[in-house]
Structure formats: C-alpha cells, structure tokens
Structure 1
Amino acid sequence: MAEQLRDFLKALAHAMRNLLPIIIVVVLFQALLLRQWPDNGLSMTIGLLIVAVGVALFLQGLELSIFPVGKRLANQFARRGSMPILMLFGFAIGFSAVVAEPALIAVADQAAQISDGRINALTLRLIVAGSVGLVMALGVFRIILGHPLHWYMIVGYMLVVLVTFFAPEEIVGLAYDSGGVTTNIVTVPLIAALGIGLAASIRGRSSLIDGFGLVALAVMVPMISVQLYGILVYADPGSIANSAELVAPSSDTEPPSGLLVMVLDLFSMLRDVLPIILVILFFQYAVLKRSLADPLRVSIGFALVIIGLYAFVVGLKLGLFPIGQSMAYQLVTLDTWLWVYLFAFCIGFATTMAEPALIAIGQQAEEAAAGKIQGNVIRLLVALGVAIGITIGVHRIITGDSIHHYIIGGYTLVILLTALAPRYIVALAFDLGGVTTSEVTVPLVTALGIGLASQIDGRNVLIDGFGLIAFASIFPIVTVMSYAILMDWVAKSGGKRT
C-alpha cells in the first residue's frame, strides 16, 4: 500500500509539472499584460487541481493494469509469429484504446454541442477508433513484411489532400483535430511498444526505421474517415433539424442532479474504458488461454483508470476549457493581434516541452538511433514546430481564411520533405507529429480556437474554431524532417571537403 501511495504521489507531481508551463504562461499574461484575473478564476484553479489528480489516478491505473497486461500480450503474440492473430490484436488494441481516449471524448463532445447535434459524439468516436484499429492491423502487416513507411505516408497524405477538396468546410478542421487526438495518454505507449517490440523480434528489421510509424498511421487515417463521415452528414440538408430534435432536452423532464449525476457519469466512464478491458481479457483467456498474473492488482488498476478519467473530464469543464476561452476573450479585446499570436506561440512551446509522451518517444528514438539523434534536440524541434503550427492556426482564425488551403499546403510540404528526408528520420518524424497533442494541450488549444472563433465577428465556431490541433501535428513533422535534411546535407558537404 505504501508503495502504491508513493507511486501515486510521483504521478501527481508529474501531472502538476505538465500543468506548470501552462500556469506560468497564463499567469504572466494575466499579470503583465491584462492585469486582471478572470471572474471564475477560483473554479478554474480547482479545475486544474482536479485535472492533475485525475491524470495521476489514470496513469497509476494504467501502470497497474493496462500497460503491463498489454505489453505481455504483445510479447507473447510476437513470439507466436502468427500474422492473423497479430493483426487482429493490433486492431483490437487500437480500437479499444482510442475509444477510451480522454482528449477524443472532449473534442467529440465539443463538436456535438457546437453542431447542435448534427455531428454525433459517439458516432464520431467509433469512426475514429475503427480507423485506428484498421491502421494498427495495417501497421503490423507493414512491419512484418518490411515495407518502407514513406510510401505509405506519401500515398496516404495524397489521399488526405484529395478528400479535403471534397469535404464540407464544417468538417475539415474537426477531421484533422480528430486525427491529432488519437495518439495520446493511452495510445502512444501501447502503440509504440507494439511496433518497436515487433520490429525487434523480427530478424532484419530496424527498431528505428521499422518500429516507429504506427503512431503516424493512427493520426493519418482518421482524417480521411472523419471527412468522409462529414460528406455524408452534410449531404442531407434536413439532418440539422432531425439531429437537434434528438439531442434537445425535454421541457417536461427534470434533469438529474447531485449524486445521481455523479453515478451516471461514472457509469459513462466505465462504458468508455470497458472496450479495452474486454479486449485484454478476451485475448488473455480465450486466445492465449492463460490467467492474469495478479487479478486483484489489475482490477484495482482498472478501477483507478475509470475514477481518474471521471476526475479528468470534470476538471476539464472547470479548468482548462474556461481558461482557453477566457484568455481568447481577453486577448481579443486588446488593440493589437500581436499578443494573441505571442500567447499561441508560448502555449504551444511550453506545453510541448513538458509533454510526457514526447519525452518517452525521444528517449526511445535516442536509444534506437545509436547516436544519430539526441532526445533533447528532438524535443526542442518538436516544441518549435507546435508553437509555429498553433500560431499559424490562430492567424487563419483571425483572418478567416479557408482551412482547406492551409491544410493542403501544409501536407503538400510534408509530402515533399518525406521524399527528400533521409530514411532513418521519416517514421520517427511522423510519430513525433502524433505525440504533440497531450491530455492537457488538446483541451486548452481546442478551447482557445473555439473562444477566438466565437469572439471574432464573421467567424463560424464549427468551421473556424477547430483545426489548431491539426496545425500542431503538421509542423513538428516539418521541423524535424527539415533539421534531418540540413544535417544530412552538412555531413555530406563536410565529407566532400575532406
């Protein structure tokens, strides 16, 4: 018990460190520039503390249950060497992990509210989760056969750009944001461990070149599927009224309150986490025909995951969403847009430098690259890319430009750099673009975009409010690949001179 308490306190301190850069940026802007504190500042502060406690409980639960069980399953299936079972396991893990992803839940709920029910939150989550599941199966297939990742990415993003031409503008930003939030607190460790472990277990495969890339595929394919969903949804002009009727509250029914609301929300969290629990238990008992090593420990872990997820969502509503929207409102009232750009840049850089998934991937890359890559350099490049991306995304909202042009231009640049970059960096660069959107960054950045769109005249919240997460995913790929191309050119030039 004492060991578990120490682990929880470490996880809580870790969560607080992740929140600290956001707090520093917000406090500096409030104290030095705005010289005021929001009216609901106390509830925001309480919300941030609840977020930290929720994330700590969630991480503690993952460490006790999902992570160790999932890693053991991946290792056992890799040793069996059965491609159909490995692909089925990849699909199941991808689907179940994304369905339970807190950031995706937050974005889907925001999209449903803003679209007046036209976009269904559960349908959106199932589409994204199904896409990630299929992509995990495809990624396992690629690693086993040793196919180069860059061809998958070039063809895939050409398809992304093509679909964007036909997608309604109301869905484009949301589709790219949905791709950006699929790789987060639950998915990245499981997906990265599956890819690297599988590559390490196959003779002739490189952990750096072949092991990375599953995260990148998990980001790309939902962008296509959600845009196709949007084409279907917005093809029916009457669907807004129908959807609104479905979600409109009845005036004759008293809304639940108090303890009943808490119980219902906890059951909702159980529903969100249940798929990954069922997947793990099915493969453990039905496929491998082995019992769990420590059922009590695993059960406690699952309970902590559910409680932590509940606290996280409550904290979002009290803390991070109001902070983003409040800062957007306050900054818009100033005489110049310069401070909005500066705030976007600072928030992007500060939150990314503290991103735990990025730190983990950077360390794994440094080990796999055997001296070619330094983890700290990777973190700086990615943080710079996120800061640039969010700043460009904010500029698009301010000017009212079409997101189509920015997204198509951004991924055209990515495709070009993919063709030019050294092969060892391609898979890692795309994965790094997927791990920049954390459980803290996503809600804050989403709220900032929605807040700006709601405060600027002539902007549509659904069309203009989403998309910042997409920019935060694109530009780290650009900065990392550009750095690798430059270093490769410098090395070749130095070799020629000598």
Structure 2
Amino acid sequence: MELLTKLKEVGFSIAPILGLVTLLHLFVTPLGNGILPIFYGSAFLVIVGLALFLLGVDIGLLPIGERIGATVTRTKRLGALLFTGALLGVVVIVAEPNIAVLKDQVAGVNPAINTTVMVALIALGVGLYLVIGIVRVVFHLSLKWIYAISYLLLFTLAFLVPPELLGLAFDSGGAATGPLAVPFIMAFGVGIARVQQLQNDADNFGYISLALIGPTFALLLLGLLLPETTAQPGALSGIPEAGDFLTLLPAIISQVLRALLPLLSLCMVYQLLLLHMPFGQMLRIGIGFIYLFLGLTLFFLGANGGFIPVGFAIGHAIGTMHEYLLLAVGLLLGSITVLSEPSVWVLVDQVERITQGHVKKPVMLTALAIGVGISGFLAMLRIITGLPIWYFLVPSYLLAVILAFLIPDLFVGLAFDSGSVSSGPMASTFILSFAIGASYAVGGNPASDAFGIIIFVSMTPTLTVALLGLLYKRALARMANQGVHP
C-alpha cells in the first residue's frame, strides 16, 4: 500500500531527530514536565501529515504537472510554455510548506519584514528561474555558464545588503526547494523533456537548483529596499510553548486552504483549456488534493505545536549551558538530517546508476554525512562567533562553480540539484528553530546569525557530488587509457 510505504519513509527520516531529542532530554537539557510526550505527539502528526502529503503529491500533482509540461510544449508556442512555467513556479511556492514555516519563523525574529511581500518575491524568483531553466533546455544552453553568471551577480548584489537580510535571502532558496516544489517542478520538466526531439540525460537536472537561485535574488532586492531592520539582538520575551494543538487548528486549516486553492484552480483551468484528461484521472487527482489538504494540516499542526517550540527550547538551553556544546550538537544534527532525508537516498541511487557502480552508495552517503555534519558545525560556529556568512558561502560556491567546468555535463545539474533536495522539512522546522534559540542564548542577533543555516545544509552536498563527478571523470580516463570500456 502506497500510504504505508510513505509512512515508513517519513518515519525513517524523523526517527533520528526523535532519538537525539530524547537523549538530550535525558542526559543534557531536560525539557520540563510533559514536553517530551507533546514532542512525540507532534512527531506523530508530522509523520502522518508528511506521508499523506507526499502521497497526494504522487497521485495528484505529479501526473498533472507532467501532463501540463508535455501538452504546452506540444503547442510549439514558446511564449505559452514560458508563461506556464512562470505561473506554475509562483503558484507552487504559495502552497510550499517549507515557505510557510519560514514565513512564521521570520515574523517572530524580524518584524520589520513584511512576510506577505517576502513570500510574493520568493514566488516570483522561482517563477523567473523556472523560465530560465526552460529556455536552457529548449535552446540547449550551457547550465554551467548560467550558474557562473547567476552566482557572480548574486554575490555582487549581496555585498550591498544588510547582514539581517543576507542569511534569510540564502535560506529562502533552500526553503523554496521543498517537498512540494521539487517533485512538481521536476514533473513539469519531465513533461517538457519527453516532447523535446534533441534530449540528453543532463537536461533532466538543473531545474531545482535554478529554482533555488531565484528566491535569493528576490530577497536580496528586498534587502536593498529595506536597509534598516528592527530586529533586536538578544531580545527574548519567552520561549515558545509546545502543545495547544486545538487552538492552532482553525488558523492552520485556513492557511492550508489559502495555499492549495490557487494551485487547484490553476490545474482545473489547464484541464479545461488544454489537458482534457478523462474523468477517472481527474477523480484520482482530486483524491490527491484531499490527501494534500489533510497532510499539510497535520504537518503544520505538528510543526507549530511541537517541533518548532522544542527545537527552539533545546537550542536555547544548550546555548545557555555551554555555547561550545552547540558545535557538537550542530555536527550531529547535520549528519543525521542528511542521512535521514528520503530524497538523499534517491540521489545516491541516481549517482550509483549514472556512474555504473563506480561511485558506490556507501561512499557517497559517508561523504554527505561528513560534509553536512561539518556544515552544521560551521553554522553553530557562526552563531557563537558572529562571523559573516561570506566566509563560508563565497569559497564554497566559488569552488562549486569552478568544478562545474571540470566535471561531466551530467554531473553539473545533478551536483547543484543535490544541495537543493538535501534541505528538507527538518531543516526549515527543527534545525532552524534550534539555531534561533541558540542565537538568543549566546546573545547574538538571530536575524543575521541563525538564518543561513538552511543554505549551510544545501551547500555541502553540491560540493560532494561535484567532487565525486571529478573522480568519476578521472576513473573513465584511466579506463580509456587501459582500453577498457565503461
């Protein structure tokens, strides 16, 4: 049964977080009376919610996303295809759960930011770069040059933005490539690819990592228009409380309806004008949207009622107890998060298949765990010391862009996409709230220090897969010199 499979996948991804919180509660930072059972209850809601949500994506959104991409491409009207890509990019971000969570976190830390404007800019950024991704495939443009030019412009613009907006701008891209946007955009891209006459495997990658760039650009522009913020370092009125699920429920239902109705309406318009799918298929898609509604409702209930408050409380408690203990917990959090993310396991399977077994799954998993663990360590180091995010991001992405010109084309989009898929729901809920709590505890400014942790989770997998691509290229060269065919 599909739902049981999804429950197993999501349960596996969240179990390490449950184990870590339990150990911290027992031996390091007791959470207080009744908080741990509330956290377990919220984890149950998150697991069931994400499983229903992912099932809804599979049976509701993926088929219609792929069908829209293929049908609009067959019209051979580039304008219609680009308009559809931009529209889908905007609408899917409105419904993306990671963005909704990020919006709430920002509202609590930096009230100077209009979060409605923020979400609108993120959506427009995704729409713009989805258009660029379509143009790249249609006209067979070089993905590596798009990355090089985009990151050069992005970092140039970022030098003009206040620190309070910098981490958030980069995190917005990681949050935008969440559990709804990633499969829907990929399905749309697959639909386009199936109709293209000249197509290669490399064209199947790159859409997601391009979608990560767009929101960052958009929020950097917001930073230029909002030069001063009112975020107060160390200002803490009280740790958010866990529980109270029934009180949260009405607002969450309203939020989910507002998120899904534009997406449902868009799908219905395309069904009436272009797709004309039979009733049986539309009924299945309708059931998928019901799963989406139920899943998102339970997910937000669990995240807001338990995961985010407990993550905040643990980060604050550890930072208060001994700030350098944050380094060890950050290392551990990064490692277990990347290994428990289902999309990462899909990624390592892809790499092993593409390299015909030359890059083994255990090798890649180990490299990712070490890399993202180091990212978690560095993110906590930045919170403790207040080091600028530049010291970490510029060298990492400069190296990634250089490697893009040295590795096989197939690995270029795959490497950058891998960073996008590694920052799943746990990064935008538990880990980000942990970082915010830690920043308050050490007397930092969460607006400039805590935000940025999602992009830290994203950057290491990009470098890891790119380096593996370089190793694969050298292995192929050695085999060719020995007269061995791969």
TM-score by length of 2: 0.89
- 2:207 aligns with 214
SS at match of 2:422: coil
Q: CA deviation at 1:491?
A: 4.8
> What RMSD over aligned residues (CA atoms) do the two structures have, in Å?
2.7
Of 88-97 and 211-220, deviating more is 88-97
Q: CA deviation at 1:471?
A: 1.0
- 2:180 aligns with 186
Q: CA deviation at 1:301?
A: 2.3
- 2:331 aligns with 345
Pick one of 104, 125, 131 that aligns with 2:125.
131
Q: CA deviation at 1:265?
A: 2.9
- 2:46 aligns with 51
Contact 2:69–2:189 (CA<8 Å) still a contact in 1?
no
The letter of the residue matching 2:328 is L
- 2:454 aligns with 469
Contact 1:115–1:462 (CA<8 Å) still a contact in 2?
yes
Report the Cα distance in structure 1 between the residues aligned to 2:347 and 2:170, rounded to whole angstroms.
Answer: 22
Contact 1:393–1:468 (CA<8 Å) still a contact in 2?
yes
Partner deviation per Cα, 1:376-404 (whole Å, 9 max, x = no partner): 54444333332222221111111111223
Pick one of 217, 226, 244 that aligns with 2:219.
226
Contact 2:178–2:421 (CA<8 Å) still a contact in 1?
yes
The letter of the residue matching 1:106 is V
- 1:69 aligns with 64
The letter of the residue matching 1:407 is L
Q: CA deviation at 1:412?
A: 2.2
- 1:145 aligns with 139
CA 1:37 to 1:108, structure 2 compared with 1: closer, same or farther past 3 Å? closer
Report the Cα distance in structure 2 between the residues aligned to 1:52 and 1:303, rounded to whole angstroms.
Answer: 17
The letter of the residue matching 2:459 is I
Q: CA deviation at 1:121?
A: 1.8
Pick one of 8, 15, 19 that aligns with 1:13.
8
Matches within 5 A, 1:48-447: 48-116=43-111, 118-207=112-201, 209-234=202-227, 262-290=249-277, 292-335=279-322, 337=324, 339-367=325-353, 374=360, 377-447=363-433
Of 440-449 and 196-205, deviating more is 196-205
- 2:234 aligns with none
Contact 1:50–1:315 (CA<8 Å) still a contact in 2?
yes
Of 226-235 and 285-294, deviating more is 285-294
Of 80-89 and 98-107, deviating more is 80-89
The letter of the residue matching 1:408 is V
SS at match of 1:205: coil
Q: CA deviation at 1:454?
A: 0.5
Q: CA deviation at 1:329?
A: 2.5
Report the Cα distance in structure 1 between the residues aligned to 2:247 and 2:370, rounded to whole angstroms.
Answer: 45
CA 1:85 to 1:326, structure 2 compared with 1: closer, same or farther past 3 Å? same
Of 166-175 and 356-365, deviating more is 356-365
- Residue 460 in structure 1 maps to residue 445 in structure 2: yes
CA 1:375 to 1:201, structure 2 compared with 1: closer, same or farther past 3 Å? farther
Report the Cα distance in structure 2 between the residues aligned to 1:27 and 1:259, rounded to whole angstroms.
Answer: 25
Q: CA deviation at 1:53?
A: 1.7
CA 1:321 to 1:264, structure 2 compared with 1: closer, same or farther past 3 Å? closer
CA 1:226 to 1:258, structure 2 compared with 1: closer, same or farther past 3 Å? closer
- 1:247 aligns with none
Contact 2:178–2:423 (CA<8 Å) still a contact in 1?
yes
Q: CA deviation at 1:326?
A: 2.5
CA 1:497 to 1:9, structure 2 compared with 1: closer, same or farther past 3 Å? closer
Unmatched 5+ residue regions in structure 1? 1-5, 241-256
Contact 2:18–2:40 (CA<8 Å) still a contact in 1?
no
Report the Cα distance in structure 2 between the residues aligned to 1:71 and 1:453, rounded to whole angstroms.
Answer: 42
Report the Cα distance in structure 1 between the residues aligned to 2:32 and 2:401, rounded to whole angstroms.
Answer: 43
Contact 2:143–2:206 (CA<8 Å) still a contact in 1?
yes
Report the Cα distance in structure 2 between the residues aligned to 1:229 and 1:158, rounded to whole angstroms.
Answer: 18
Report the Cα distance in structure 1 between the residues aligned to 2:250 and 2:307, rounded to whole angstroms.
Answer: 23
Report the Cα distance in structure 2 between the residues aligned to 1:214 and 1:295, rounded to whole angstroms.
Answer: 26
- Determine what percentage of the aligned residue pairs are the same residue: 28
The letter of the residue matching 2:315 is A
